[in-house]
Structure formats: C-alpha cells, structure tokens
Structure 1
Amino acid sequence: MSLPLFCETVRPEWIDYNGHMSEAFYVLVFGYATDALMERTGMDAAYRKSTGCSLYTVESHIRYLRDVPEGARLAVLTRVLGAAGKRARFTHEMYVVTGPRAEPGADGDPVATTELLALHVDQEAGRATPFPDSVRECLAALTEPPPWWAGRSVAPVA
C-alpha cells in the first residue's frame, strides 16, 4: 500500500527577494502533504470533528537542497516510518517534476526533505492520546524503511 503524491505549483507570492521559493513555503507545502497523509489514514475533517483529536507536529528536520523557481510543479512523496501509541514518524520528499506525470525522481533528486515526529492530540484535554486502532493499523500498513537521510541531526559548526 502506498500513499498518493501531493502535488502543488509554486505561486508568485511564494518567491522571495533571492528569486526562488522562500523557506516558509517549503514548510507550507510539506504541511499540505501532512494533511494529505491525515486524510489517507482516516484523520480527516470528519474524524477531527467527531473525536476532537488531530495530529500535531512536535519536531521536524528540513533539508533545503536546491532552489525552486516560480511556476515549478512540485510532487511530494510521503513515507510513514512508524507509529506506536500516540506518536507517528514520517518523511516528505519534495521534487520538481517536468513531465506530464508527476513521478518523483524522474527529473532528479529531491529539492527538499523533511522528517517529522507527530503526536495524536486530544484537543479538548490538551494532551496526547493513543491512536485509535483503525488509524494505527492504517499507519502500520503504510510503514516502510527510512530513507538514508532520516535520523540525521544538524551538523555542528566546526
């Protein structure tokens, strides 16, 4: 079982004073990809409304690898690395795609990646709570090995 790609086009207002996509919009696109993951795993708007629970990102590590120009077509590949109790770990890889089909990797290496740790939160109680079995099982079915870059930290300044 695999996740569908999240696709987006870089908008003019996302371009910074250096002439490429501003770092805040990489985070925005990755956030939309997380929303797509939530939809796919049963944590959609109806779930959030009926349970009062949602997924909160509590840690992330972004790698900005290449500049992205205005109008670029982006495809984001999501990988679930694991889920247990109230935590989920997953990655997103952002690619610029040029062909008629959005196939990450067909046009080269990713332009950015992120690794995230998220908690399943009961918003009314204000604390993390275990995933219901249906969501946990869906996440487990999507789990795959981490890419080589996952688990790295920011390099120290020498």
Structure 2
Amino acid sequence: METEALVVQLATLAQDHRVRIATAESCTGGWVAQEITALAGSSNWFECGFVTYSNEAKTQMLGVPKELFVSDGAVSEAVVAAMAEGAVKHSLADLSVSISGVAGPGGGTPEKPVGTVWMGWAFEGQATEARCFQFDGDRQAVRLSAVNEALKGLIKQLSKSTV
C-alpha cells in the first residue's frame, strides 16, 4: 500500500510541475518503473525506464564511464550519479532516479554488505544528489525498500523544486 500511495503523490507533483520522469535501475530490475506505470495516466508524466543490470549496459545505455566501475565499483555514489545523469541525457525526462545495490543473498563484501543500495537523483539544471542506504531483510525486502526510497527521493526532489 505504501508504494501505491507514493506513486499517487509523485504523479500529482510531476503533473503540477510539468515534469517528465525516467528511471535507471539495476538491482530493482525495473520495479520502480513497473510501480509507476501501474497507475493509470502515468504516460502523462513518465518518460521511460532503463534496466541496466550489467556494467556494460550502464555504459552503453546511460553513458557511465567504464573507469568508474574499476575505481568505485558498480554500487557507488559515482556510478549512480552517472546513471541518473545519463537517464536524463538519453531521454526526454527532466528528472530521474538511479539505483544500484547488493540485494543478496550473495554478492556482499565487508565494505558493501548485502542490503547496501546507492541511489541518485538528477534534475535538469540542479546538482545531482546521491545517497547510500542499508536495508535489512531478504532479497525481496531489500528491493522493495529500494523502490519505496527511490519514489520518496523523487517526491523530495519535486517538493523542493520551484519549476
């Protein structure tokens, strides 16, 4: 229920501000875009979703520099910032969210344990923001938490906007 309410709130703000939104998702596999498009009328404000699970897809579809995967890793501030900026650049969207994380059950490291998720938000004409989250639970719980935080972040970006 929380997810649906967040999408309704996002829809209202996006339409009020006449903003089109894109998503760039890795560990959530398009779940944010799925929740957005489940709302009738979302075509009025949702531009597109990029599902870039591999590093190669992040580079090819969003323009993430390959060097960032070596220097920072796919689950990092630098990569989600580049993903979010790439989603705006490679679409007609004004605002985007990007997500890259370790959903589990494997793949975690001491530096980036399971549940580590980085998100970025790019809003044309504003500084890109990124934030790291540590979610608890199994793979499904981590991914759902990421979806909800991504939506909350989009709402926050629009709420502080004067567009």
Normalized against structure 2, the TM-score is what?
0.29
Give 1 or 2 for the bigger CA radius of gyration: 1
Higher strand share: 1
Greater helix content:
2
